[in-house]
Amino acid sequence: MTQGTSIPGSAKPAVASGLLQFGCWAGGIALLLWALLSPRFRDGEGLFDSGVCLPLSSGVALLVLGAVASGRWVRFRRSVFWFALALIGQAVHLQMIDAGTNVAYQHLRSPRAILTELPLILVGAVAFQTLAVLWGLRNVIGSSIGWIRKRLGWWSAACIGALFVLTSGTKINVPVPVFAVELFCATFIQILGVATIVLGALELPSAGSPGDKAPVGWLDSLVSGVRSGDAGARRIDRFAIVGALWVVVASYGLCVLSYERHPHIPDEVLYLMHARYFAEGELTLSAPPVPDAIQLYLMELEADRWYSPVPPGWPAVLAIGVFFGAPWFVNPVLAGLTVLGAYVLLQKLYDRRTARFAVLLVCTSPWFLFLAMSLMTHTLTLACGVGATLAIVWAREQDRAVWGWVGGVALGIIGLIRPLEGLAMASLLGLWSIGVGGRRLKVSAIVGLVLGAALTGAIVLPYNKSLTGDPLKFPIMAYVDKHFGPGKNSLGFGPDKGLGWRGVDPFEGHGAIDVAMNAHLNTHSVNTELHGWCTGSLLLISLAVFGARMNRSDRLMLAAIVVVVGLHSLYWYSGGPDFGARYWYLIFIPCIALSVRGMDWIARGANGNGSRSPLSDRRGVASVLALCAISLVTYLPWRAIDKYHHFRRMRPDIRDLAEEHSFGRSLVLIRGNGRDDYASAFVYNPIDLQADVPIYAWDRGDEIRQELLKVYTDRPVWIVEGPSITGGSFRVAAGPLRPDDLMSEGTP
């Protein structure tokens, strides 16, 4: 063909593709600008509300479609269309969920509420996605059912289906008929998500065009994870380092933007206070001058001292961050180290490919990133669990007793943080070290494991004695026995278990029905927050467990899940809705590994003969990458805005008011509830309650207020109303006022 000639009729498709590309890009940019600039997506304080996630996600979807509408990657247009539709579909689905900042499990809104309270365009979007999926499946539905029947069998398919359905919704404080409707609707939405992703994978073209070389080569590199010449290496490489750095930056970014570097759970306030006096070298504090006005949830008050009864492990580590002025940076760093440790561990238990996909899933997991954002204990226990397991692997490989000691110390630290999780990890690694599920360690390594754990854990004995007078009596158990009743917080069953938290503990006592309910609540939370996928997070795990032939490493992962879940079934509380199934957090890495194994099972079965092919691998990789990207674009920002920003109405506004009004050496009376309003202000109290800085006290009534004014008679007084009163931010109601005037005239 000579230069200047053209193919007859080729101009019209090119023009149409160009127009399509322009339309997608223009629409995407318009949606992004609308989302960012329109007051429609702002709350009363001018901050983004969760509704902004829908136009943002839709704008991103159109921009991605525009990138493949014309040019070198046009052959990917069909596949990207389905992935973009899944992205918009999940964004629509999230707008139908009632979650919010209250302490409650999320629920899908009822059909009536969706039709009457939400924009009808959401219903139209679901209808469009449904029709599009039905049209896309018209030629593959029969073969897909046949493939499932051949690969799974009816029994495995039934188990997977039951798990898929029952974990799509949750039953607490909801009538059974309402729950049944929610399960039906939520299951339908998950099926819609699965079908949309599958259609996107099936439309992915095979390699063969020069324009495909870049994306296909990149996918191949990600799949293999091994360069020529280093196939046997088991090391930390650039992939893992980038993943760890991303986790540190992303979790700390969420901490700054969503969490505002401020505790949002009473436990976090307690941990921070505990760490602060540990950083000062103190085991207890002097009793506050007016205990009824300066008090904190779970702080034990005695005649002349005041202290936190929770185990000392996490506050001691957090104290390092407090000492350097960076407590909020501790968990993000621990999360980054966990990524590196998990990468090495999974290479040894599986291979480089599995480890790489695991890192990808860890780095995009909302459960992982949000816990790393917080001041909760669980990131440290997971890091120590990964470290202890890796130490056992090295002890087995190198026949060196020192690694047994390292593993034992890590186990002891877990016991100092969360004793029940320490017991779970000790049981698992103890059995593994003596030959159950792997080669037995040499005797010196086993001795090191046992003594390392025992000696490290024994640190708590003198600590217990200093606080309770009995080395075997844990302060937290003594606190609950004293304030709620003997045995209320202990393991086991009976009508006396539990603290009466009716909002998140549905039944009195602890029995079989409580075990089932707690398991359901936590399994639903894992399905929601492990990956944040529109398909549900447990689908790949269920395929690995019920569909695949499990190898030794798979069985180890499943055993870890069973032991952690089983031991926690002895406890009356599920952990609540804060940060997912946080009491089960030690199952995180096993869930990630089994998710990768489920993806691997699909790839091996795509050809119908149990073998892999480059195309089936690429389809699997593309699907997982698309799901991870969808989670980052939709679920992560939605959860950060809708739930964790101002969660429980705990806000850092008081520190801004202190600067704006120059509180200085004053007494600040906080009006509102004590568990949230006052706890938010209490964070900014000094350790020394006579220091020349603002002292925040709970304004509980005239009598207690008069006691405060007598103690702090030389300080000006400010009166601040909390969010439970204002419905928004903290607000100065009066001040500065003279204590003498308040004592004689009463508080305004």
pLDDT of residue 160 exceeding 80, the answer is yes
Whether the Cβ atoms of residue 513 and residue 523 lie closer than 8 Å to each other? no
39 pLDDT band, cuts 50/70/90, is very high
- Token digits of residue 431: 């059995």
* 23 and 127 fall within a common domain: yes
* Nearby residues of 676 by Cβ (< 8 Å), 6 or more positions away: 266, 648, 649, 650, 722, 723, 724
Q: What is the mean pLDDT of residues 630-650?
A: 95
This prediction has a pTM of 0.93
* 159 and 252 fall within a common domain: no
Whether the Cβ atoms of residue 298 and residue 309 lie closer than 8 Å to each other? yes
* 92 and 203 fall within a common domain: yes
What stretch of H or E contains 506?
Answer: none
* Nearby residues of 96 by Cβ (< 8 Å), 6 or more positions away: 108, 109, 114, 118, 122
Give the side-chain half-sphere CA count within 13 A for 260. 17
**Which of residues 337, 354, 376 is at a domain's end?**
376
Nearest to 27, CA basis, from 94, 88, 104: 88
Q: What's the number of domains the chain is made of?
A: 3
pLDDT of residue 737 exceeding 70, the answer is yes
* Nearby residues of 405 by Cβ (< 8 Å), 6 or more positions away: 448, 449, 451, 452
Backbone dihedral angles phi then psi of residue 252, each to the nearest 5 degrees = -70, -35
Side chain identity, residue 560: A
* Nearby residues of 637 by Cβ (< 8 Å), 6 or more positions away: 53, 56
What distance in Å separates the CA atoms of residue 263 and residue 298, rounded to the nearest whole number? Answer: 15
In a domain, 50, yes or no: yes
What distance in Å separates the CA atoms of residue 333 and residue 252, rounded to the nearest whole number? Answer: 9
What residues make up the domain containing 18? 11-226+626-646
Pick from 205-219, 496-510, 731-745: least confident: 205-219
In a domain, 573, yes or no: no
Residue 679 or residue 10, greater confidence: 679
Tell me: the pLDDT tens digits for 277-297?
999 999 999 999 999 999 888
234 pLDDT band, cuts 50/70/90, is low
410 pLDDT band, cuts 50/70/90, is very high
Whether the Cβ atoms of residue 62 and residue 25 lie closer than 8 Å to each other? yes
What stretch of H or E contains 697?
Answer: strand 695-698
What distance in Å separates the CA atoms of residue 450 and residue 85, rounded to the nearest whole number? Answer: 54
265 pLDDT band, cuts 50/70/90, is very high
Tell me: the pLDDT tens digits for 426-448?
999 999 999 998 899 999 999 99
* 242 and 219 fall within a common domain: no
Tell me: the pLDDT tens digits for 683-730?
999 999 999 999 999 999 889 999 999 999 999 999 999 999 998 899
In a domain, 436, yes or no: no
* 655 and 636 fall within a common domain: no
Whether the Cβ atoms of residue 696 and residue 685 lie closer than 8 Å to each other? yes
What stretch of H or E contains 471?
Answer: none
123 pLDDT band, cuts 50/70/90, is very high
Q: If you average pLDDT over every residue of the chain, what do you get?
A: 90
Per-residue pLDDT at 255: 97
* 336 and 365 fall within a common domain: yes
In a domain, 98, yes or no: yes
pLDDT of residue 209 exceeding 70, the answer is no
Q: Tell me the β-bridge partners of 671.
A: 721
Q: What is the mean pLDDT of residues 300-329?
A: 95
7 pLDDT band, cuts 50/70/90, is very low
* 246 and 210 fall within a common domain: no
pLDDT of residue 223 exceeding 70, the answer is no
Tell me: the pLDDT tens digits for 668-678?
999 998 888 99
DSSP 74: G
pLDDT of residue 741 exceeding 60, the answer is yes
What distance in Å separates the CA atoms of residue 189 and residue 183, rounded to the nearest whole number? Answer: 10
In a domain, 3, yes or no: no
Tell me: the pLDDT tens digits for 536-594?
999 999 999 998 789 999 999 999 999 999 999 999 999 988 999 999 999 999 999 99
Q: What is the mean pLDDT of residues 600-612?
A: 66
208 pLDDT band, cuts 50/70/90, is low
What stretch of H or E contains 731?
Answer: strand 731-737
Q: What is the mean pLDDT of residues 399-422?
A: 96
What distance in Å separates the CA atoms of residue 40 and residue 505, rounded to the nearest whole number? Answer: 37
* 124 and 204 fall within a common domain: yes
Residue with tokens 């969420």: 254
Whether the Cβ atoms of residue 464 and residue 474 lie closer than 8 Å to each other? yes
pLDDT of residue 16 exceeding 80, the answer is no
In a domain, 386, yes or no: no
Per-residue pLDDT at 622: 87
* 293 and 199 fall within a common domain: no
**Which of residues 324, 359, 376 is at a domain's end?**
376
Q: Tell me the β-bridge partners of 301.
A: 306
Q: Where are the beta strands (DSSP E) in 153-192?
A: none
Per-residue pLDDT at 618: 79
Q: Can you give 555-607 as a three-state secondary structure string?
A: HHHHHHHHHHHHHHCCCCCCCCCCCCCHHHHHHHHHHHHHHHHHHHHHHHHCC
pLDDT of residue 222 exceeding 70, the answer is no
* 175 and 214 fall within a common domain: yes
* 305 and 164 fall within a common domain: no
What stretch of H or E contains 689?
Answer: none
Q: Where are the beta strands (DSSP E) in 328-450?
A: none
229 pLDDT band, cuts 50/70/90, is very low
Whether the Cβ atoms of residue 199 and residue 135 lie closer than 8 Å to each other? no
Whether the Cβ atoms of residue 641 and residue 53 lie closer than 8 Å to each other? yes
Q: Three-state SS for 212?
A: helix
What distance in Å separates the CA atoms of residue 75 and residue 691, rounded to the nearest whole number? Answer: 69
Tell me: the pLDDT tens digits for 45-102?
888 999 999 999 999 999 999 988 887 788 888 999 999 999 999 999 999 999 888 8
In a domain, 333, yes or no: yes
Length of the chain, in residues? 748
Residue with tokens 């020069």: 210
pLDDT more than 90, % of the chain: 72
4 pLDDT band, cuts 50/70/90, is very low
- Token digits of residue 135: 């049209």
Q: Three-state SS for 685?
A: coil
Q: What is the mean pLDDT of residues 188-198?
A: 95
* 188 and 246 fall within a common domain: no
In a domain, 544, yes or no: no
Per-residue pLDDT at 2: 40
Backbone dihedral angles phi then psi of residue 494, each to the nearest 5 degrees = 145, 165
Q: What is the mean pLDDT of residues 230-255?
A: 86
Q: Three-state SS for 422?
A: helix
Task: List own/partner pairs for 172-179 with CB under 8 A and 24 or more apart.
Answer: 172/105, 172/504, 172/506, 172/517, 172/521, 173/104, 173/503, 173/506, 174/107, 178/110
pLDDT more than 70, % of the chain: 92
**Which of residues 359, 376, 393 is at a domain's end?**
376
- Distances from the Cα of 435 to the Cα of 352, 427, 438, 590, 706, angstroms: 25, 13, 5, 20, 67
Per-residue pLDDT at 74: 84
- Token digits of residue 691: 């220091």
